[in-house]
Amino acid sequence: MKQSIKVAVDAVVFGYDPEKGISILLIRRKYEPFQKVWALPGGLVANGESLEDAVRRELREESGVDVNYLEQLYSFGKPDRDPRNRVVTVAYFGLVRPSDYQLSAQTDAEDVAWHSIDQIPKLAFDHKAIIDLAITRLRGKIAYEPVGFELLDKKFPFSDLENLYQTLLGREIDRRNFKKKIIGYGFLEELDETIQRKAGRPAHLYRFNKKKYDELKTKGYNFDLFL
């Protein structure tokens, strides 16, 4: 039986801001179908192009973002998910610091913007289902791997890390036990620097030591960040 299936990629890119919380990068489509509707950055994979190369290219072209942390999420292939053709998309999720990028909509996108995960607009295709799965995956992943540091500034007060986890988990955490547990792993460095954001005492800054984390991971150290 002859097949006429196209392969695409889509990206759920998470960003974090201490004041605005967790957000997702969306583009407004320039063309039909779903013209002027918000959607995930993505598109068809070119001949001779790997899936990861394709998703990185689409992100650069449609949003001006280049993601360091990128992980394959799931494949979505319902026959009617794209009204034009039979398209199977391989979805990825990425983590970035929004302040690192100047957004730029090009090619198939007429606009690009960050949207709070609590205020996602109506989306094209099956992109809401893709986002829902990505949020579930990220919430699970932060329990056993400190990927959340990809969303923070290189130097940050500990309260930013606490707020990030509370936002992702959707619940309050025991701050004292959380800090004791994270510091106990040994991959977080306290710096001889402080920051003053609001009234009160200046807060010490911290830095994630990826080399130390990689060493512990190689030794088979078991991380359990659930509280």
Half-sphere exposure of 157 (CA within 13 A, CB side): 14
Task: Report the alpha-carbon distance of residue 18 to residue 34 in Å, rounded.
Answer: 33
Q: What is the mean pLDDT of residues 122-126?
A: 98
Q: 72 lies in a domain?
A: yes
The reply to whether 134 and 175 lie within a common domain is no
Q: 178 lies in a domain?
A: yes
pTM beyond cutoff 0.75: yes
**CATH at residue 184:** 1.10.10.10
Q: At residue 139, does pLDDT exceed 80?
A: yes
Q: 61 lies in a domain?
A: yes
The reply to whether 49 and 157 lie within a common domain is no
Half-sphere exposure of 87 (CA within 13 A, CB side): 17
Q: 223 lies in a domain?
A: no
Percent of the chain exceeding pLDDT 70 equals: 99
The mean-pLDDT minimum among 47-51, 156-160, 178-182 falls in: 178-182
Number of domains in the chain: 2
Q: What is the mean pLDDT of residues 64-73?
A: 94
The reply to whether 113 and 187 lie within a common domain is no
Render pLDDT for 140-175 as a digit per residue (tens, 0 to 9). Answer: 888 888 888 899 999 999 999 999 988 888 888 888
Domain boundary among 141, 173, 194: 141
Task: Report the alpha-carbon distance of residue 13 to residue 31 in Å, rounded.
Answer: 22
pLDDT band at 226 (very low <50, low <70, confident <90, very high): low
Domain boundary among 141, 161, 181: 141
Q: Which residues pair with 16 in a beta bridge?
A: 22
pLDDT band at 227 (very low <50, low <70, confident <90, very high): very low
Domain boundary among 108, 141, 174: 141
**CATH at residue 63:** 3.90.79.10
Q: 225 lies in a domain?
A: no
Question: Hey, what's the torsion of the CAs at 30, 36, 42, 44, to 10 degrees?
Answer: -60
Q: At residue 192, does pLDDT exceed 80?
A: yes
Q: At residue 20, does pLDDT exceed 90?
A: no
Q: Are 206 and 160 in contact (CB under 8 A)?
A: no
- Mean pLDDT, the chain, rounded, equals 92
Omega cis (within 30) before 33 = yes
Q: What is the mean pLDDT of residues 90-118?
A: 94
Q: Which domain holds residue 117?
A: 5-141
